[in-house]
Amino acid sequence: MSKPLVFEKPLGMRDTLPHLYEIKSISRTAMETIVRQWGYRFMQTPTVEYYDTVGEASATLDQQLFKLLDQEGKTLVLRPDMTAPIARVAASSLKDEPLPMRIAYAAHVFRAQEQEGGRPAEFEQFGVELIGDGTTSADAEVIALMIETLKAVGLNNFQVAVGHLGYVDALFKEILGTDQRTETLKRFLYEKNYVGYRQHVKELPLSSIDQKRLLDFLQLRGGTAGLEQAEELITSTRAYEALEELQTLRDGLAAYGVSDLVSLDLTLVSHMTYYTGVVFEGYAPELGSPISNGGRYDTLLSKFDMDTKATGFGIHLDHLIEAVHPREEKTFTHCIVYSEKQRKDAIAFCQKLRGQGETAVLQDIKGIENLDGFTEKFSNVTYYLGKEEGVSK
């Protein structure tokens, strides 16, 4: 291994240059405004957490965690998501707050790249958590808010797929009988291996009707999939309950006026154990990865000794910006170039401009090597040189 060269950064780490910073900042502000209007309050948590608490509870794969040791030899992680840290806070410092609690965040999270570059290992996530509300209205609120937040940044062409892990679990359980068999089959879905799923189903000692139910399940996605088809496959109360929730959710989303962007996708299994009910992902057509995702995680809080339900979403800000290409609004910047003798007037003029809310750069001419090159990027330049009064370019 060679020593890093001065310009190099660790794999997956990226700089945010001024231009992009500006764009991000504008987008973030637009999203914050919406989320605040919906009554969510922003908070921050530390960048570093304990591996045994937050690291363990997070939905991120172990090999994607950045780990380090503290002086006592305890393992720490760079936070891989914000949901687990917020759950920790909700269950400790905020545990006496009345529920439901509405929390929002905009923070950098860290996920190590396993093999290669091409994806950031540190990225900004923007999201909300609605803690202490187990109703389907909460799921609808979170999805509707996510849609409104994405629109606020100027994203109009996108889709949200909604699934329900309660349905998947109940369907598999009623056909397969044991948790272990359910998990084995669910893993094929999670790994997106439909060929393996079909092979596995065909090898199971099941009646041809049950096999067909499991194979038909894979069709419950895309534009045409409806709750009616989903209902044909099930018999258990748990599965019906899940479908009823989806029905209520659909009505809720219709009331918010966002139904046209949402489609049903019961094959969506974004994590093996983390999510417990409604799950969803947002997609922009030109992007290879989801721009946002979320769902109900009713067992996470109990890992922090708080017995309550919760749901939330996270938006991948970089993906969002890639999908929207928002333009940087040209800010009018005034430049005042002065020589020592006129410094006092120059500063006074500059302060006047800034007082009026303008952006103004103050520059001693002696500090400039290439005057044309320097002044080129400003909208307006005023010179305070020699003995004369300031002259505008």
Partner 1 sequence: MTSTKLTIAMPKGRIFEEAVQMLREADYALPPEFEDSRKLIIDIEEEDLRFILAKPMDVPTYVEHGVADVGIAGKDVMLEEKRNVYEVLDLGISRCHLAVAGLPGTELDSVAPKIASKYPNVASSYFRSQGRQVEIIKLNGSIELAPMIGLADRIVDIVSTGRTLKENGLVETEKIMEITSRFIVNPVSYRVKANRIDEMVNRLEKVIEGKEVVR
By the criterion CB under 8 A, which residues form the site for partner 1?
118, 157, 159, 161, 192-196, 199, 221-223, 263, 265, 281, 283-285, 287-290
Q: How far is the CB of 16 from partner 1 (least distance, A)?
A: 22
Using the minimum distance from each CB to partner 1, give the nearer residue, 163 or 312.
Answer: 163
Q: Given the complex with partner 1, which of 12 and 290 has the nearer CB atom? A: 290
Smallest separation, CB 227 to partner 1 (Å): 17
Task: Judge contact between 266 and 163, C-beta under 8 A.
Answer: yes
Nearer to partner 1, 75 or 199 (CB): 199
From the CB of 283, what's the least distance to partner 1, in Å?
Answer: 5
Q: Which is nearer to partner 1, 192 or 352 (CB)?
A: 192
Smallest gap, in angstroms, from Cβ of residue 62 to partner 1? 15
Cα gap 105→316, rounded to integer Å:
12
Tokens standing for residue 212: 């067909």
Q: Work out how close the CB of 79 gets to partner 1 at its nearest, in angstroms, rounded to a whole number.
A: 22
Task: Determine the residue type at 165.
Answer: L
- 60 vs 78: CA distance, rounded Å: 12
- Identify whether the C-beta of residue 187 lies closer than 8 Å to the C-beta of residue 272: yes
CA distance 376 to 299: 58
CB of 160 to partner 1, least distance (A): 10
Q: In what order do the strands lie in the sheet with 67-69?
A: 48-50, 75-78, 67-69
The radius of gyration computed from the CA coordinates of the chain, to the nearest angstrom, equals 27
Strands 67-69 and 359-364, by their bridges, are unpaired
Closer residue to partner 1 in complex, CB, 199/351? 199
Q: Which position has the token pair 């062409």?
A: 157
**Secondary structure (3-state) at 3:** coil
Q: Of 115 and 331, which has the nearer Cβ to partner 1? A: 115
